[in-house]
Structure 1
Amino acid sequence: MADHAILAGKRVLLVIAGGIAAYKSLELIRRLRERGVTVRAVLTEAGARFVTPLSVQALTEDTVYQDLWSLTDESEMGHIRLSREADLLVVAPATANLLARMAAGMADDLAATVLLATDKPVLVAPAMNVRMWQNAATRANMALLESRGLLRIGPNDGVMACNEYGPGRMAEPMEIVDAIAGFFAEAAYRPLAGRRAIVTSGPTHEPIDPVRYIANRSSGKQGHAIAVALAKLGAAVTLVSGPTRLPDPAGCTVAHIETAREMLAACEAALPADIAVCAAAVADWRVEGAGDRKLKKDGGGPPALTLTENPDILATLSRPGERRPALVVGFAAETGDVLAYATAKRARKGCDWIVANDVSPGTGTFGGSDNTVHLIRADGVESWPTMAKDAVAARLAEAVAEHFNANLKAK
């Protein structure tokens, strides 16, 4: 089977936490070993109440690690060694308690310490009562961990050990094996390895005075998703982000800015680059001579604000020259005649591609999770169906990879 070739020789550190689903971890070990995976196990104190260390040791054919304070292991900083020698860490079952401790960055036992000390990817298979899974605290912890790059498989719907029904059952061992194989297959697919990318994201804030500013409604979700998608394909990504409520994406270098001029400076500092994707909604104008003190109402009516144009980041990066990225992609957020305005923008700015979308009130694009875009290139227009912004980002990243691959074949 294909997953045998993908998994052979890989090293997995399996963390078994305390839950009735821990019995499935024994089958998971067996299935991974069948496929040539070296499995080491960390068994929590609670996990040892459900499966015995002897059972785990017999299946892994390796030491079962349990005690953070083991002198033999810790004389060699065992928790650091364990966390670094694996290719992937898998937590199955991942209990609500362990997820909470991971989210808080705790290191109060060997499992939590290993998970905090690792520099390798982590895949969790949650398992808990349906009410625990649906609790706002667990959902917030899971969202936080996933925003940091944590991978997840499940949980599945089904009957619990407590006879309640709903989401909370740990994924089946072969589902987890497939997820592990999928991770390694995706990790091996790096068509943009060796490429450097700049991605701009979010709004800019242009000060009127120390407390007021001109801005727009961009959430940064699309730009951040594009940065992640390019990084997954192997690109070294610098994300230049205006003020958003989003966490910094894992695997990217992030430059935080406020104004359009700061964004341009950060982009130029990140050159040379092969790819530039200008997804930020940059303010077209700023206040000329913004005040250094708060403007006060004095009864004489609103102050006159003189606006001046901000630098054009997309046009600047598209300008011919040695430092121009090989592929420059702009975004056109329009509220009418989307294709006509975006096509004209591509020609005017001198960029290679334009991603056009409709941000009219009611579309939910600004601040929402979905997007409907058109990719405009020299050879025509592709209209994509409405998709989650993550899916749009993945499709755009694939198009970028195909572009460079086609150019290599042409040479």
Structure 2
Amino acid sequence: MTDWYRDKKILLAVSGGIAAYKAAELTRLLIKQGAQVRVMMTQAAQAFIPAKTLAILSQNPVLTDASWQRDGDTVDHVAWANWANLILVVPATANLIGKIAQGLADDVVSTTIMASRADKVLAPAMNDGMWASPALQRNISQLKADDWLIIDPVTGFLAEGYEGTGRLADLNDIVNQLPIRLLARVDNILKDKQVVITAGGTQEALDPVRYLTNRSSGKMGYALAEAAAERGAQVILIATVKRPVPYGVKLIKVSDTQSMLGAVESYLPGASVFIAAAAVSDFRPVQLAKNKIKKMPGQTSWQLALTLNPDILATVGQAKKPQQVVVGFAAETQNLADNAQKKLASKGADMIVANDVSDQAAGFNSNDNAVILFIKNQSPQTVALADKLVIARKIIDQTMALLASKVLE
């Protein structure tokens, strides 16, 4: 789980569409992520969901036209605008979109939005005909030009009783993509570059039922994909395991080492960075049985003939272009530093990320990791135990530094 929401001050603006009832669940999701949430509502929104519901869930009073117009010693729309780090308009109706795009401020929601310098995001929800209308699309284009982030509606079952494009995006998708898309706006050397990452343990088939594999969960590779996506990279994740895919990441599902190598080689020519985070089997069975291998009567042992698999990291390291960065992993149970240094020298990698997988707090299937970064002509860098996404961001930061040094060469 990303830590981006922790202590984030989010002002949720709810406008008057049938999807307004979803603001209750969205408020809960944001608070569960660690955010502080306040809610403001248009008059029309209150016809779909009571302000009291959102006040209880957010544990804050709700700003409405009625409360805004009461006498007091504060200018509420300015105070709330200054409080927020992020304004999130969900759902955004065609009417409110039009107001914001044209610079109108005739109620508490539109006035507060205009007064705020916070990041601004909206998720439209409406009938498919309204979403497709030229006027609405002109307003969306204007908001994008004004630096709004738009979470497009999806195709689904609409309130009118048929399938169409205009349905509010899934709330979990909204929560998951927001941090990545906002972080990816920042210019850096990885932005718009292609990054290829492998993840998970390969599966070398013995027969139609069994395969040889290892204990890799793929969590580190997926975390690296998310961290690279946060930097605005075009991420290709080649994985043997299926986990929730970070926003903007293209997943290529493979099973064994040979299929993983084939996928890597197909994307490598356009890549600026390759990160080999997968736990690849060194050997595979010499023969793949067409049918399930059966135990014979009286059999007490079984000899399995294996042959060497291709070395994906070494293959890429030897074929890399001068300005490509190649990063490998060394999952070790002993002699970590010696083995990592040998791997750095022999594989053609620019960096080796070494970790002790015998440590239950940081090994396979753990949500945390602790690593040492080995880079040519540099002292090893120790990254202390932390969540794998935190570790992944450190690895991506160092990868960006290596990429920058190659660009300058």
> Normalising by structure 1, what TM-score?
0.65
1:66-96, Cα deviation, whole Å (9 max, x unpaired): 994598x4671788777774555699xxxxx
Contact 1:105 1:116 in 2 (8 A): no
* Superposition deviation, residue 253 in structure 1: 1.8
Q: Which SS does the other structure have where 1:371 is aligned? A: strand
* CA 189–199 in structure 1, closer or farther in 2 if over 3 Å, else same: same
Are residues 1:23 and 2:62 paired?
Answer: yes
Contact 1:359 1:365 in 2 (8 A): yes
* Superposition deviation, residue 341 in structure 1: 1.1
Residue equivalent to 1:189: 187
1:148-192, Cα deviation, whole Å (9 max, x unpaired): 53449xxxxxxxxxxxxxxxxxxxxxxxxxxxxxx7576223331
* CA 208–386 in structure 1, closer or farther in 2 if over 3 Å, else same: same
Are residues 1:115 and 2:114 paired?
Answer: no
* Superposition deviation, residue 115 in structure 1: 3.2
* CA 349–75 in structure 1, closer or farther in 2 if over 3 Å, else same: closer
User: Where do 1:206-245 residues align within 5 Å?
Assistant: 206-242=204-240, 244-245=241-242
- In the alignment, the residues of structure 2 paired with residue 307 and residue 362 of structure 1 have an alpha-carbon distance, to the nearest angstrom, of 29
* Superposition deviation, residue 105 in structure 1: 7.0
Which segment drifts farther, 261-270 or 185-194?
Answer: 185-194
* CA 113–313 in structure 1, closer or farther in 2 if over 3 Å, else same: same
- In the alignment, the residues of structure 2 paired with residue 68 and residue 399 of structure 1 have an alpha-carbon distance, to the nearest angstrom, of 44
* CA 105–399 in structure 1, closer or farther in 2 if over 3 Å, else same: farther
- In the alignment, the residues of structure 2 paired with residue 398 and residue 338 of structure 1 have an alpha-carbon distance, to the nearest angstrom, of 22
* CA 340–106 in structure 1, closer or farther in 2 if over 3 Å, else same: farther
- The correspondence for 1:76, drawn from 133, 141, 147, is 133
Contact 1:41 1:60 in 2 (8 A): no
* Superposition deviation, residue 236 in structure 1: 1.8
Q: Which SS does the other structure have where 2:405 is aligned? A: helix
- In the alignment, the residues of structure 2 paired with residue 333 and residue 385 of structure 1 have an alpha-carbon distance, to the nearest angstrom, of 16
Q: Which SS does the other structure have where 1:222 is aligned? A: helix
- In the alignment, the residues of structure 1 paired with residue 128 and residue 239 of structure 2 have an alpha-carbon distance, to the nearest angstrom, of 45
- In the alignment, the residues of structure 1 paired with residue 342 and residue 385 of structure 2 have an alpha-carbon distance, to the nearest angstrom, of 23
1:203-244, Cα deviation, whole Å (9 max, x unpaired): 1110010010001111111111111212221222211111x2
- In the alignment, the residues of structure 1 paired with residue 128 and residue 261 of structure 2 have an alpha-carbon distance, to the nearest angstrom, of 53
Residue equivalent to 1:297: 295
- In the alignment, the residues of structure 2 paired with residue 66 and residue 346 of structure 1 have an alpha-carbon distance, to the nearest angstrom, of 49
1:242-268, Cα deviation, whole Å (9 max, x unpaired): 1x2412222122211000000000000
Residue equivalent to 2:73: none
1:268-316, Cα deviation, whole Å (9 max, x unpaired): 0002122111000011111111101111122142443111111100000
Amino acid at match of 1:252: V
Q: Which SS does the other structure have where 2:185 is aligned? A: helix
* CA 215–78 in structure 1, closer or farther in 2 if over 3 Å, else same: farther
* Superposition deviation, residue 324 in structure 1: 6.8
* CA 90–151 in structure 1, closer or farther in 2 if over 3 Å, else same: farther
The number of residue pairs the alignment matches comes to 319
Q: Which runs of 5+ in 2 are unaligned?
A: 1-10, 16-22, 24-48, 69-75, 94-105, 115-121
Residue equivalent to 1:274: 272
* Superposition deviation, residue 406 in structure 1: 3.3
Contact 1:196 1:236 in 2 (8 A): yes
**Percentage identity across aligned positions?**
30
Amino acid at match of 2:258: R
> Normalising by structure 2, what TM-score?
0.66
* Superposition deviation, residue 348 in structure 1: 1.9
- The correspondence for 1:367, drawn from 365, 368, 377, is 365
* Superposition deviation, residue 60 in structure 1: 5.1
Contact 1:209 1:292 in 2 (8 A): yes
Contact 1:288 1:308 in 2 (8 A): yes
Residue equivalent to 2:387: 388
Contact 2:77 2:112 in 1 (8 A): no
User: Where do 1:333-348 residues align within 5 Å?
Assistant: 333-348=331-346
* Superposition deviation, residue 340 in structure 1: 1.1
Residue equivalent to 1:406: 405
* CA 89–198 in structure 1, closer or farther in 2 if over 3 Å, else same: closer
User: Where do 1:133-148 residues align within 5 Å?
Assistant: 148=176
Q: Which runs of 5+ in 1 are unaligned?
A: 1-11, 45-52, 92-101, 118-140, 153-182
1:330-366, Cα deviation, whole Å (9 max, x unpaired): 1000001111111111112221110000001534420
- In the alignment, the residues of structure 2 paired with residue 316 and residue 66 of structure 1 have an alpha-carbon distance, to the nearest angstrom, of 47
- In the alignment, the residues of structure 1 paired with residue 293 and residue 267 of structure 2 have an alpha-carbon distance, to the nearest angstrom, of 36
Residue equivalent to 1:312: 311
Contact 1:199 1:238 in 2 (8 A): yes
Residue equivalent to 1:376: 374
Contact 1:318 1:325 in 2 (8 A): no
Are residues 1:56 and 2:109 paired?
Answer: yes
- The correspondence for 2:351, drawn from 347, 353, 362, is 353
Amino acid at match of 1:307: L
Are residues 1:252 and 2:254 paired?
Answer: no
Are residues 1:149 and 2:177 paired?
Answer: yes
* CA 233–89 in structure 1, closer or farther in 2 if over 3 Å, else same: closer
Q: Which SS does the other structure have where 2:208 is aligned? A: coil
